[in-house]
Structure 1
Amino acid sequence: MKRTVVFYKTADGKCPVREFLNSLSGKAAQKVLWVLRLLEELAIIPSTYFKKLTENIYECRAQFGSMAYRILCFFVNGSEIVLTHGFIKKSQKIPGSEIEKAKAYRKDFLRRRR
């Protein structure tokens, strides 16, 4: 199954995922981009790289050295994955504030897409 990965943009044109990727070192950014390519190319994505967090929010997971990178996302029309934003995971549990941010971005995306 071929999926399309889309970067969410705010109403004022900011792209949180691109800003996150630009903040990473070259090799860390390459690893995260490699995981994003898996989302597009693999029919079944291993849970090492992709996990459902809530009813509509998922996380893309990339590990580089001792750092855990996460990009939250959601599906549209079953084959389109919209990446909302990224962060460096610093604890066992994903912070609720990050999930809430992804939910708000999803709501905004769907409202503006109509």
Structure 2
Amino acid sequence: MSKKTLVMGASTKPNRYSNYALERLIDRGYDVVAFGKREGQVSGISIETELVPYEDVHTITLYLGPKNQTAYYDYIVSLNPKRVIFNPGTENPELYQILREAKIPFEASCTLVLLSTNQY
């Protein structure tokens, strides 16, 4: 699929929603890249711990709380994604404003729900 997705806050722990999202995206055939605090793999996808300047990122789906997002504002904007998804618990009005100014669409939604209802 053409919608390359960056999962920010990726985890190898199977009980984490970011892990479920990685697996569902991969199962659906999306091109997935991942960033997290700890290295590891989920369904063959490596979780990077360094910021990689990916190209052609369609969607960034956030699994980082607002306090943990601040260090990545510039990085998120630099990737110029087509959209940013704020999963439950990641809503951040400060980042919303930064994205508005950069003309990057965003939505407060749930990646897992979007996938399960074919709205991703």
Q: Same fold (TM over 0.5)?
A: no
The structure richer in strand per residue is 1
Query: Normalised by the size of structure 2, how large is the TM-score?
Result: 0.29
Of structures 1 and 2, the one scoring higher in RCO (CA 8 A, sep 6+) is 1
Query: Normalised by the size of structure 1, how large is the TM-score?
Result: 0.30
